[in-house]
Amino acid sequence: MIQADFPILNELVHGRKLVYLDNAATTQKPQVVIDAITEAYSKWNANVHRGVHHLSQVATQKHEDARKKVASLIHANSEEEIIFTKGTTDSLNMLARSFGDAMVGEGDEIVISQLEHHSNIVPWQMLCERKKAVLRVIPLREDLSLDIEVFKGLLSEKTRLVSVAQVSNVLGIINPIEEIIRLAHEQNIPVCVDGAQSVPHLAVDVQQLDCDFLVFSAHKMYGPTGLGVLYGKKEWLDKLPPAEGGGEMIEHVSFEKTTYNVLPYKFEAGTPNYVGSYAFGKAIDYLQETGLECIALHENSLTQYLEQQLAQIPNVRVYAAGMPKAGAVSFNVYRLDGSLVHPFDVGVLLDRQGIAVRTGHHCAEPLIDYLQVPGTVRASVAMYSTEAEIDAFIAALKKAIMMLE
């Protein structure tokens, strides 16, 4: 049983066995990942790349092997296209600084969507303020899908980049990213895909998608916190400037001029998180040994079951009901008089019964404002989630609703 590989799932919360349904925020870690972190600090900890001694060479090899595993996972052309960052947020900020400095000027436009996480909004806003550029937003249709017809009209000779989530972190909706990329590329506009919620659940092939950039985090796919990935096509990374300066990213430094390292190192200033990369490599091994297709089928089945069970509760409104989703379902609870039960209250009562869900605006305030609610309750599954846990969650939710009426 997969749950046996995740020690935290044996924990008791308020005297009850933990039911963890907050996987869109972060996933739990298998023992093999926990052991990898201990191994690194116990057996071969040393700074990478610049050391001639044995420990440094071992650490360097393990760090670079992990980079190759990431490249293989998303089908990149080369490990040169894999930049290690602190996470998805860091990846997007890095891209906004680097791409923005080189490619964006006054009056230029960046296109994002109504569904975006703050990490795919704020860095572009900061860029637009800095460069006097304009941020354009793809609106939503009544069913909460992206309005592709409006998107077509947003693209122009002024558009420098489109940056869109493949999967909404709030609603779990799978956006038509292939169509978005195709439409943008027809006008020679590059596309960044926020894959924070898609890479953990879907088979993402950057060559098949033909995306120019892809960003995601290790901690949302059973790896450690503090590690992310920025994938970029080599032709883009070659012509973009570094976003940060310091050690590692240089070729030669003098007071007159600095020249930069080769890819991917010119984007990796300072000591990298080599322990995190090694542990993430172990997480990737674990995923592939378990079977990526089997995991996807299991999670898809559970997500559908979760939504179906929620839809049968009269007091519950499921957002984007019936639309294809990846791992997450958002909902709210309403009283018999039609008034909204605050999501926080629902979350607290679920927690008292050992159920972990996420409540609030989920770092997507523009979307929550559009829904005209203070927040939602989000339940999200992972490879170790079970139908029995969904049943326990539904039973706990029904009990909470009775207490809140």
Retrieve residue 220's tokens: 């949302």
**Rounded CA separation 235/260 (Å):** 16
**Rounded CA separation 140/320 (Å):** 11
Alpha carbon distances (Å) from 280 to 1, 43, 276: 22, 17, 6
**Rounded CA separation 127/143 (Å):** 31
Contact 221, 198 (CB under 8 A): no
Catalytic residue, chosen from 128, 192, 211, 363, is 363
Question: Within a 10 A sphere around the Cβ of 141, how many other Cβ atoms?
Answer: 11
Measured in degrees and rounded to the nearest 5, phi and psi for residue 26 equal: -165, 150
**Rounded CA separation 405/401 (Å):** 6
Residues 6+ positions from 60 with CB-CB distance below 8 Å:
48, 49, 51, 274
* CB burial string 130-139: b at 16+ within 10 A, e below: ebebeebbbe
* CA max distance for the chain: 72
CA–chain centroid gap for 52, Å, is 36
* Known catalytic membership, residue 363: yes
Which are the catalytic amino acids?
A: 363
